[in-house]
């Protein structure tokens, strides 16, 4: 199951990092993240001198400079092991240029990792997902399905909300939003990176079903994005429910 893969991959990351990692908090499109890191890696092959990159700071604030050129410069700054580069990116973020804001956030985070790796002489692990996170927790979009032919009563909705809150709290997790979508209900929540998502959700479903057996034991989890109804239906159809 996808949720098992997510947990196992994160567990391995924790082991490899020795418990030292940084989580990107902002929700940023995964495709944009891939584009950013591909460019960063490409620029590392023929890395410019720090002084040359820092000298181009003015281009970020020049309206005549193209967005593509600014994206390249931000990526270069993020690779520059100099605190001045970090401050330049911070200054650019304050201008809140909508089309480049997410890119600049990625640059700032990567710049921080580069600086920590350089000055502390320790390899830093950077964990980024489409839904972001907070502190030591990652954000997940979880969807459960009501059993067919079950008429959901208000009391059952209160039960599932209570049981999910209990399970999340017991695992140092947080429910940010709980929504009902016809035959489904979804949760946007924060779960510690070292906690099994399966355990959190399965416990809540089991306890809720003591009051009517109204929730399927199969569910979907993603940390890429908030899924639309058609995408949710497609996922459950593949599960055979």
- State pLDDT tens for residues 2-31: 555 555 666 665 566 555 677 888 889 999
Domain 133-239 top-level CATH class: alpha beta
For 92-120, the pLDDT digits (tens) are 999 989 999 999 999 999 998 888 877 77
pTM surpassing 0.75? yes
What residues form DSSP beta bridges with 138?
A: 133, 191
- CA-wise closest residue to 156 among 202, 204, 209: 209
Yes or no: say if 144 and 185 are a contact pair by the CB < 8 Å rule.
yes
For the chain, the domains span 29-127, 133-239
């Amino acid at each position: 199951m996808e949720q098992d893969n997510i947990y196992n991959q994160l567990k391995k990351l924790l082991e490899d990092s020795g418990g030292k990692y940084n989580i990107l908090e902002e929700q940023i499109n995964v495709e944009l993240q891939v584009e950013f890191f591909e460019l960063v890696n490409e620029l590392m092959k023929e890395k410019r001198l720090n002084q040359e990159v820092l000298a181009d700071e003015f281009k970020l604030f020049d309206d005549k400079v193209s967005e593509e050129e600014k994206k390249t410069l931000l990526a270069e700054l993020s690779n520059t092991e100099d605190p001045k580069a970090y401050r330049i990116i911070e200054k650019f973020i304050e201008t809140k240029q909508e089309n480049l804001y997410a890119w600049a956030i990625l640059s700032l985070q990567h710049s921080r990792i580069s600086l920590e790796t350089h000055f502390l002489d320790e390899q830093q692990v950077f964990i980024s997902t489409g839904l972001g996170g907070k502190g030591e927790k990652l954000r997940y979009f979880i969807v459960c399905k009501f059993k067919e032919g079950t008429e959901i009563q208000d009391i059952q909705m209160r039960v599932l909300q209570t049981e999910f809150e209990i399970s999340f709290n017991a695992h140092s997790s947080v429910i940010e939003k709980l929504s009902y979508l016809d035959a489904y209900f979804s949760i946007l929540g924060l779960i510690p990176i070292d906690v099994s998502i399966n355990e959190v959700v399965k416990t809540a479903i089991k306890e809720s079903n003591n009051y009517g057996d109204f929730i399927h034991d199969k569910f979907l989890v993603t940390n890429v994005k908030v899924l639309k109804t058609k995408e949710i239906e497609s996922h459950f159809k593949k599960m055979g429910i």
